[in-house]
Structure 1
Amino acid sequence: MRKVHNAAMTSKGRGDEPEEDTGPLSIFDRDEHGDEDGDGPAEEAAAQGAGEAPRRRRRLRRLLAWTLAVLLVLFGGAFGAVLWAADHYASSVRRIPDAFPTLPASEQPSAVPHSGQTFLLVGLDARSDGPTTGKDAGAPAWRAGAQRSDTMMLMHISADRKSVSLVSLPRDTWVPVPGHGKAKINAAYSWGGPALMVRTVQDLTGIRIDHVAVIDWSGFRALTDAVGGVDITIPRTIEAKGDAREWLAGTHHMDGAEALLYVRERHGLPNGDLDRTKRQQNFLRSLMIKTMSSGTLSSPSKLTGLLGTIGDVASVDDRLSNGDLYDLAWSLRDVRPDGVHFMNAPFGGFDTVDGQDVVLLDDGAAGVLWNAVRTDRMDAYLAEHRTSTGTLGTDVD
């Protein structure tokens, strides 16, 4: 298989420049002669004999004082520093007000006790030419008709926190949208924002949505760059078609800009929107593997950069407090890539409705999947359906 590299990733950044040598570090100051306590050669000679013992005791006391101070900072202040950092980055994540439908509990799916948590992940098609990092890259506030959701995934976290399942709902899925009749599912966000999107998905699946997270595509680009790019293998060459670019077979090391092209494209793919959802899943899988295998989570500097980027580009519902966010992150510390599963909602065929190309679900097969999510039985579901065409495999066009 031919290796394909993005040329933009080969140039050296500021991190390749040699650091200035500042000389040896010591807990004692040194004067121009390099002697401790300001003692030059003449003074040292005069201090021989009776004066040497007091000086040694003074140095010993200073050394002990510095050592105790360092130990207090390291062991006494570390816990406080960790709490401060966690709260700082959790606070940087924007909160979405009114993200849930204001319906009586009797008109919404019932929460099933001890069945884990289910998030609705929404990727927006807002395309800005502005910065891709910083506050301007965050998922924009919803405005009627301003955006349609480009990506929708149900993310179910098992109650034992050992596995995570992500189910993509293609943007062209034909569904009932409350108050608007039948339409493509991505129209719900445009018409009524997160609350209508949540209500539409809950009505479709019968699954109670616990939380919502929103990110725009420039956010995906920033996250990719924050981990140094991702490796994505394309099993066969895909020829250029219309506005779609050619993709050569091989492993591509993609920076954020190229990864963005990869996940957005659908016109050159055999199954259009269905293949695009698989690309999105494949990208997320590669991003997750890179994060877990590159030492990002164990390197304070890399982790700080990643957390800062997430805070810049993501928004969550205002039911998620800072404590909820870092409790969730801590509870998932033992999840590994083979415990994360990606799949599409069961496909029922393509159709044309009022001149629109739409995707239909297999309602019977989808009902089985929704029930498995609702009751936290995804391990059993995957054991039975692991080879289905909806489950993400290793070869992704």
Structure 2
Amino acid sequence: MNDPTGPHTASPRTTSRRRRPRRRKALIALLVIGCLVAVGGILTGRYLGSLEDAYEKRSVVSLDRGASDGERPQGEDGNGQNILLLGSDQRAREDAADQGVSGQRSDTMMLVHVPEDGSAAYIVSFPRDLQVEIPGHGEDRLNAALAYGGVPLAVSTVEDYTQTPIDHVALIDFEGIQGLVDTLGGVDVQVPESFERDGMQFTEGTQNLDGEEALTFARERKHLEGGDFARNENQQQLLKGITSELISGNTLSSPGKMRDTVAALSPYLTTDEGLESTEIVRLGLDNRNLRSSDLTFPAAPHGDPFTTSGGASVVASDEEGMDSLRTALAEDSVDDYAADHAE
């Protein structure tokens, strides 16, 4: 008969002693995890706070002004998101003044469509000299809308033309590109056409550009065979390079670099009221899986250049092509449109 108190049977007291260290270790582990979470939360809070402070340096505008009929186009839920990107050159304001128009003109106008599933981003770049109807001003170049009525009128003009609601808008002065690219440590850009400007040589193929080179690259059109169309392509390639660097591990894994990037860009940035720092973070999280290979630049529908009766050089609109784009935007099927209208 076995002795219940023998060496092979643990007493209740012995069992209690053995369990206690395990419980203590588990408690310590929970405390350590809790401390790590707390410290992480503090660090995250501080980082987001500094990021918000940097972002708040931007200018903010209201989009209360409606389209030509007084009402903005209404989109349907589940049809993705549309963001209007405007690029303005400080030097263009002098050109606008010479033409009797106050304010600045948009050198770059890109409509970014992100489908509902967030699987890609489609970026359509419109020629700045495209002849369109500007609410309250009749037919004129697309880039004149910004000069006539600022960002709200530029949004209304694009909404009218595309018959698509714009969810957010961001305007960047080209002067900000230089600081942005330098903060990123330069960007690799695919140069479509070789040219030289201001002592800088741009050679066809992949080239790493610093801030000053990127700004010159984005502005140039007179030395390019395709003129304004070629400049549009250069600006698209620069946007690809910047985006690739922004979403690279080098940037996303470095909170300090992200903060510095936002701080470098914000003073040159104007957005709608709804594009707050929290919305920027949400957009970033929603599209965190996007990579440069997911960016597509479908061709913008347009006709041939011509001279108006008043002597202005403009680009004709292509209404048939625009109807296809309008349908694609309304039905969130820009992927099909892009496949048939590659840039």
Same fold (TM over 0.5): yes
Q: Which amino acid aligns with 2:82?
A: T
Map residues 182-261 of structure 1 onto 2, 5 A cutoff. 182-238=139-195, 247-261=202-216
Deviation readout 1:203-235 (Å, 9 max, x if unpaired): 111011111111100111111111111122335
Measured after TM superposition, the shift of residue 324 of structure 1 is 1.9
**Does the CA contact (< 8 Å) of 1:212 and 1:317 recur in 2?**
yes
Structure 2 residue 277 is the aligned partner of structure 1 residue 322: yes
2:22 maps to which residue? none
Measured after TM superposition, the shift of residue 68 of structure 1 is 11
1:90 maps to which residue? 52
Moved more, 103-112 or 67-76: 67-76
Distance 2:204 2:126 in 1: 27
Distance 2:202 2:256 in 1: 34
2:43 maps to which residue? 81
Q: Which amino acid aligns with 2:181?
A: T
Cα 1:235/1:114, change in 2 over 3 Å? closer
1:351 maps to which residue? 306
The alignment partner of 1:267 has SS state of coil
1:146 to 103, 128, 132: 103
Deviation readout 1:126-171 (Å, 9 max, x if unpaired): 249xxxxxxxxxxxxxxx8121111111111111111111111111
The alignment partner of 1:348 has SS state of coil
Distance 1:207 1:326 in 2: 24
Distance 1:262 1:145 in 2: 26
1:282 maps to which residue? 237
Structure 2 residue 332 is the aligned partner of structure 1 residue 368: no
**Does the CA contact (< 8 Å) of 2:134 and 2:157 recur in 1?**
yes
Same amino acid, percent of matched pairs: 35
Distance 1:271 1:283 in 2: 17
**Does the CA contact (< 8 Å) of 1:101 and 1:198 recur in 2?**
no
Distance 2:292 2:38 in 1: 35
Structure 2 residue 50 is the aligned partner of structure 1 residue 109: no
Distance 1:299 1:174 in 2: 44
Distance 2:265 2:31 in 1: 35
1:62 maps to which residue? none
Distance 2:162 2:294 in 1: 23
**Does the CA contact (< 8 Å) of 2:103 and 2:146 recur in 1?**
no
Q: Which amino acid aligns with 2:80?
A: G
Cα 1:375/1:235, change in 2 over 3 Å? closer
1:126 maps to which residue? 90
Measured after TM superposition, the shift of residue 345 of structure 1 is 1.3
Q: Which amino acid aligns with 1:356?
A: A
Q: Which amino acid aligns with 2:278?
A: G
Distance 1:69 1:257 in 2: 51
**Does the CA contact (< 8 Å) of 2:180 and 2:261 recur in 1?**
yes
**Does the CA contact (< 8 Å) of 2:67 and 2:135 recur in 1?**
no
Measured after TM superposition, the shift of residue 78 of structure 1 is 1.1
Distance 2:193 2:166 in 1: 38
Moved more, 298-307 or 114-123: 298-307
Cα 1:155/1:316, change in 2 over 3 Å? same
TM-score by length of 2: 0.80
TM-score by length of 1: 0.70
**Does the CA contact (< 8 Å) of 2:243 and 2:292 recur in 1?**
yes
> Structure 2 unaligned runs (5+)?
1-28, 93-100
The alignment partner of 2:298 has SS state of strand
Cα 1:80/1:150, change in 2 over 3 Å? same
Distance 2:206 2:68 in 1: 51
**Does the CA contact (< 8 Å) of 2:84 and 2:155 recur in 1?**
yes
Structure 2 residue 305 is the aligned partner of structure 1 residue 341: no
Deviation readout 1:307-346 (Å, 9 max, x if unpaired): 3323333221112333222111111101111211113311
1:380 maps to which residue? 336
Distance 1:105 1:334 in 2: 39
Structure 2 residue 226 is the aligned partner of structure 1 residue 271: yes
1:306 to 256, 261, 281: 261
Measured after TM superposition, the shift of residue 103 of structure 1 is 6.0
Cα 1:351/1:245, change in 2 over 3 Å? farther
Distance 1:268 1:343 in 2: 24
Cα 1:87/1:311, change in 2 over 3 Å? farther
1:7 maps to which residue? none
Q: Which amino acid aligns with 2:122?
A: S
Cα 1:192/1:383, change in 2 over 3 Å? same
CA RMSD of aligned residues (A): 2.7
Distance 1:316 1:380 in 2: 30
Cα 1:319/1:182, change in 2 over 3 Å? same
**Does the CA contact (< 8 Å) of 2:192 and 2:234 recur in 1?**
no
Q: Which amino acid aligns with 1:379?
A: D
